[in-house]
Amino acid sequence: MTATSPRRTTALATLTALALTAPLTACATDPAAANSASAQQQNAQEQNAQQQTEQAWTTAWSVPMQRPSIGFEPNWSEQGFSDQTVRQVVRVTTAGSAVRVRLSNRYGSSPLEVGAASLARTTQGAAVAADSVRRLTFNGAESAAVPAGGELISDPVDLPVQPLASLTTTLYLPHTTGPATTHLQGYATSYRAAGDHSTDPDPAAFTDTTHSWYYLSGIEVLDPNASQHAATRDTIVALGDSITDGFGSTNDANSRYPDHLANRLVAAGTPRPVLNAGIGGGMVLSDSAWFGDSARTRLDRDVLANPRVRTMIVLAGLNDIGFSEVDVPTFKPNPNRSVDELIAGHRELIRRAHEHGVRVIGATLLPLRGADYYTATAQAKIDQLNQWIRTSGEYDAVVDFNAALADPADPTRINPAYDSGDHKHPNDAGYRLMADTIDLSTL
């Protein structure tokens, strides 16, 4: 407990005395003022109760939102939806006694009209457990409009969940949406059906699929132990690029490295929310219409806006280096980024996180030899940046992904046993090894 100075004690006592005596004086001289004071006190109590309730909610799954784009494989973001139902499956990483859904229309130019929505436990593919289907409401209404550039949170539904459970959110979009706010590389199958199938447990109507997410930005759960630790800061966020996002992992297998980290924490008996804030092609320094906002630009909204974040793992910079060295049509202009610029970018992430009381773990960049944008200059930059991450002492802790995944015969390459095939992204076994490399005590 922090010691309180005599001056502060006197001031607190004075404020307390004023708070206690003012209503009594008003009651003796002015009944109307007394009623007003009573109403103000009741409003303050209600606001405090609402704040405590909000603190009891924790994000169990989230994903960074991106501008519509054709991305890395076909998706529906540019064409959007019209009189269609989109069904999306995600895996939560912490338990809850109730659930609510967060929708984002960040990159929409007009309100997003949601005609109906539901939440259910996933069985397989687009099928859901019929007895678990819960129709979602928004401020008590079954339909809602998400403002252009804004977000909307559903009302809670009673649906207890356990860590690592899969949930299915279904949205019926009755009118033409225009291009859809999205997360391009989901590595999870999303399903589409014509018409309203928002509460249909049968998967038969969902004949179209992609591997991106649309409008769904978060799943929040009510902490079952809220009365004991409503304000607990226990969430881990992995910030990074396509390696954090999970490029090269098996679709629908939850084999990204943050997924395996969540598995480890559950196996250790210490489940905690683990959120993936990776964006394929993302950079530390540059925003991109194709690849999304930089880590610096989106740090607040994708990490620091969550009041329960305790630890952030940063694996970032490989694209800044790679795009500096080769001609990539989807990223123009491509400035030649120096190691000093990248270090300054990392320092900014550390500083801003520390200002919010967030612990920051720095991760070394993976080997790159053989990849599409490998050059000798790129290798030299990777070596220099990794050396700074390992030895500068500016991160609170370091995880050496580079050393863990390097080929013993050539440390500038990914070990073939962990290579997805493009010599840049790990496979499922590589992502599992990355998670296993993290010292849980540093979290």
Task: Look at the chain and count its residues.
Answer: 443
What is the Cα–Cα distance from 410 to 147, expressed in whole angstroms? 52
- Do 312 and 363 form a contact (C-beta atoms < 8 A)? no
Are 251 and 373 members of one domain? yes
252-255 own/partner pairs: CB under 8 Å, 24+ apart:
252/89, 252/187, 252/188, 252/189, 253/428, 254/91, 254/188, 255/428, 255/431, 255/432
Are 258 and 214 members of one domain? no
Exposed / middle / buried, residue 140 (Cβ in 10 Å: 0-12, 13-18, 19+): exposed
Are 203 and 259 members of one domain? no
Q: Residue 288: inside a domain, yes or no?
A: yes
Are 123 and 272 members of one domain? no
Are 65 and 208 members of one domain? yes
- Residues 381-398 pLDDT 10s: 999 999 999 999 999 999
Are 426 and 305 members of one domain? yes
From 218, 241, 258, the end of a domain falls on 218
What is the Cα–Cα distance from 405 to 412, expressed in whole angstroms? 10
Exposed / middle / buried, residue 168 (Cβ in 10 Å: 0-12, 13-18, 19+): buried
Average pLDDT of the chain, as a whole number: 89
Are 238 and 382 members of one domain? yes
Are 241 and 199 members of one domain? no
Of 16 and 112, which is predicted with more confidence?
A: 112
CATH number at residue 361: 3.40.50.1110
From 163, 194, 218, the end of a domain falls on 218
Are 187 and 267 members of one domain? no
Domain tally, the chain: 2
From 218, 250, 273, the end of a domain falls on 218
Are 269 and 416 members of one domain? yes
Omega of the bond prior to 64 within 30 degrees of 0, cis? no
The total of other beta-carbon atoms located within 10 Å of residue 161's CB is 23
- Residues 139-158 pLDDT 10s: 999 999 999 999 999 999 99
| CA quadruple 201, 165, 222, 233: dihedral sign | negative
pLDDT at 135: 98
**Structural domain that includes position 245:** 231-442
Q: Out of 315-329, 375-389, 396-410, 416-430, which region has the weakest mean confidence (pLDDT)?
A: 315-329
Does the pLDDT value for residue 273 go beyond 70? yes
- Residues 312-347 pLDDT 10s: 999 999 999 999 988 888 888 888 999 999 999 999
Does the pLDDT value for residue 32 go beyond 60? no
Q: Residue 6: inside a domain, yes or no?
A: no
Are 70 and 106 members of one domain? yes
Q: Residue 226: inside a domain, yes or no?
A: no
Are 120 and 66 members of one domain? yes
